[in-house]
Amino acid sequence: MRTGLRLARQPGLSRAKRAGEYTVPPLTEEWSRALLGIEHPISHRPRPVTFDADAARDRIRDGEVVHLHLGHPLVQQCLRLLRAEVWAGGREAKLSRVSARVVDDADLAEPVALAHGRLVVTGRSGGRLHEEVITAGGYLRQGRMTSFTTQREVRQAVAASRSSASGAPADLVDGLVALLPVISPGLVRALERRRDDRQASLKRQLADTAAREADTAEQVLVELGKGIEQALGDSGTHQQLSLFDVEERQQLER
């Protein structure tokens, strides 16, 4: 919510008096539909909102607070903005996404940096043939990045970030963010190499698939042709003659 509102250049939520509750500030006109249901139906005063339905169950039931669930218009509008920004590229991108995790030493012996990208393969007509998220990265050593040499290292780092990881302290996150200008070029190059490798592999796979499908289609057409020829050879003449009048049959016999 906070990031979505910031992307739209709207004021953010502010904490209400009760823990876990927030007040929604006045938003611009294009966001008016997203605010439906937040005003009290009788007093027409804005009600506080919450994301924790269990903690505020009684107040939600009594209409004193509004639950901002995933389907609420305000949440949905923020999610649409976030989804658009996640895949925005080039100069249009407004969102820089950085997160830091702490993992057990047994899983990773030294710090690593990972970057993710979206790879989409389309056909000549624009149809989407393949889509996947690719990952690349390397070890952080003395303020610089050394790229992974194998995909096994990438998979190990990704698995560690998902299994034994916990949130990193704010000061550590700030320090890693400060390294981004130094390591970003290496991350981009690693991601581009991974993209090129996957493109080459996918090109071969798609070519093999196209060849197999073409062979299958050709076999089907050949079998169909044989069936048609056999049917015409067995009874085609008799069936065709029945379509002619007497004079045409005589001409055919002559």
Note the pLDDT tens digit of each residue in 28-50: 888 888 888 888 888 888 899 99
At residue 243, the pLDDT reads: 67
Contacts of 102 (CB under 8 A, 6+ apart): 165, 166, 167, 168, 172
Of 54, 89, 124, at which residue does a domain stop? 89
Would residue 108 count as lying in a domain?
Answer: yes
Q: What is the CATH number of the domain that holds 14?
A: 3.30.360
Q: Which residue has the tokens 């997203």?
A: 34
pLDDT at 207: 92
What is the phi-psi region of residue 63: left when phi exceeds 0, alpha when psi lies from -120 to 50, beta otherwise?
left
pLDDT computed for residue 44 by the predictor: 83
Domain that holds residue 152: 101-209
Give residue 202's pLDDT: 92
Determine the length of the chain: 254
Let me know whether 80 and 105 are in one domain: no
* 85 and 109 housed in the same domain: no
Residue 164's pLDDT is 66
Which pLDDT score is estimated for 242? Answer: 66
- Is 32 part of a structural domain of the chain? yes
Quick check: 66 and 49 in contact, CB under 8 A? yes
* Res 174: pLDDT: 86
Question: Which residue bears the tokens 């302290």?
Answer: 169
Distances in whole angstroms, Cα of residue 15 to Cα of each of 35, 48, 57, 162, 170: 17, 9, 18, 31, 21
Per-residue confidence (pLDDT) for residue 252, from 0 to 100: 67
Is the domain of 177 the same as that of 143? yes
Q: Tell whether 68 and 117 lie within a shared domain.
A: no
Q: Report how many domains make up the chain.
A: 2
Low-confidence ranges of the chain (pLDDT < 50): 236
